[in-house]
Amino acid sequence: MKSIGHARVPTSGQTLDAQLDQLHAQDCVPILRETMSGAKSDRTELKNALAALDQEEWPAAPTVR
């Protein structure tokens, strides 16, 4: 089963490194990245990730602590 990853941070002062590590560990391909507030509804890369899903794919999001 294939997973599509999505990593997001709200500001450019933050890093995606921990999220990317988790998504790579889950063998996600592709991993879409964006720097944008989660409160915004117009999130291009999230929309791209959801649009790319088919019946055999699953979205994957890292755990943020």
Q: Mean pLDDT in runs of 10 for the chain (65 residues)?
A: 83 91 90 84 80 67 61
As given in the structure block, the two tokens for residue 26 are 């889950």
Does 36 fall in a domain? yes
pLDDT number for residue 24: 93
pLDDT attached to residue 22: 92
Q: Which domain holds residue 29?
A: 2-54
Burial 28-55 (b: 16+ CB within 10 A, else e): beebbebeeeeeeeebebbeebeeeeee
Which domain CATH number covers 7?
3.40.50.1390
User: Quick check: 2 and 52 in contact, CB under 8 A?
Assistant: no
This prediction's pTM: 0.70
Give me the pLDDT at residue 1, please.
63
In a domain, 13, yes or no: yes
